[in-house]
């Protein structure tokens, strides 16, 4: 493969990787919303985003490499990636629904309400409380399964545009070009994910939602459902 063709492929990997990530809300919205809802540190959410992004790209690389090895046509690989994409979008929708329902129940329990108390001397007073306890404020939660759920969803989620980029240099027998195109696409995809998540999370760190703060988990779940639906039915 000549140098000009390789440069065109690498340029395509940069532009396609960036656009593929930006127009796909699933690449950043779940991380941003969960970081806000669960009060994750910026460093932690960036590591989670990095791990999910690498898994997202590598899973398609493995499928593409297997297809190249057994001589599967691009069309068939794209069908496989389409099935994976449908599965990943439904998993994202399901995760958002479960998380949203849990968050709504948590929010409703957090509502303060008053109880009147009548004393033996005839005096009466009331006090308000919630059912979440004295130490139920939103804080950074560690050791949860949420990051692993995200990782599994992203490993199942395909990078459809990567397959044609891999197949062309592979057909020419240029394995160095395959490696360079893959590396470029992966760096741009993961780098874009981390940049969007990092900047957005930093901007939300000090955002206060007032009364709606107790429903932040439910809001996060709802928006994750919408991002999954946009991928499934709008093809984003």
Crossing angle for the helix pair 29-37 and 216-234, nearest 10 degrees?
170
152 has pLDDT over 50: yes
Read off the pLDDT of residues 175-204 as tens digits, 9 standing for 90 and up.
888 889 999 999 999 999 999 999 999 887
Domain-located, residue 120: no
Domain-located, residue 136: no
Domain-located, residue 73: yes
Domain-located, residue 155: yes
Domains of the chain: total = 1
Range of the domain at 17: 3-110+141-205+215-234
Nearest partner of 146 among 37, 56, 236, judged by Cα: 37
Domain-located, residue 56: yes
Q: Where are the beta strands (DSSP E) in the chain?
A: 113-118, 124-129
236 has pLDDT over 90: no
Domain-located, residue 61: yes
**Residue 144 three-state SS:** coil
**Residue 165 has which token pair?**
């980029």
Read off the pLDDT of residues 67-82 as tens digits, 9 standing for 90 and up.
777 766 666 777 777 7
């Amino acid at each position: 493969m000549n140098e000009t063709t390789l440069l065109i492929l690498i340029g395509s990997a940069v532009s396609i990787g960036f656009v593929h990530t930006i127009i796909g809300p699933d690449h950043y919205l779940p991380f941003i919303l969960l970081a806000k809802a669960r009060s994750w540190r910026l460093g932690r959410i960036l590591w989670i985003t990095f791990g999910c992004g690498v898994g997202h790209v590598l899973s398609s690389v493995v499928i593409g490499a297997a297809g190249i090895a057994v001589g599967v046509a691009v069309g068939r690989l794209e069908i496989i990636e389409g099935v994976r994409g449908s599965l990943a979008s439904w998993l994202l929708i399901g995760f958002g629904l479960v998380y949203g329902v849990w968050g709504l129940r948590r929010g409703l329990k957090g509502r303060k309400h008053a109880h009147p108390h009548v004393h033996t001397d005839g005096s009466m007073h009331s006090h308000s409380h919630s059912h979440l306890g004295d130490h139920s404020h939103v804080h950074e939660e560690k050791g949860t399964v949420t990051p692993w759920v995200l990782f599994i969803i992203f490993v199942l989620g395909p990078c459809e545009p990567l397959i044609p980029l891999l197949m062309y240099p592979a057909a020419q027998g240029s394995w160095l070009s395959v490696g360079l195109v893959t590396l470029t696409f992966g760096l741009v995809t993961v780098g874009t994910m981390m940049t969007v998540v990092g900047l957005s999370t930093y901007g939300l760190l000090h955002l206060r939602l007032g009364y709606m703060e107790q429903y932040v988990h439910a809001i996060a779940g709802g928006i994750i459902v919408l991002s999954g639906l946009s991928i499934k039915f709008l093809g984003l």
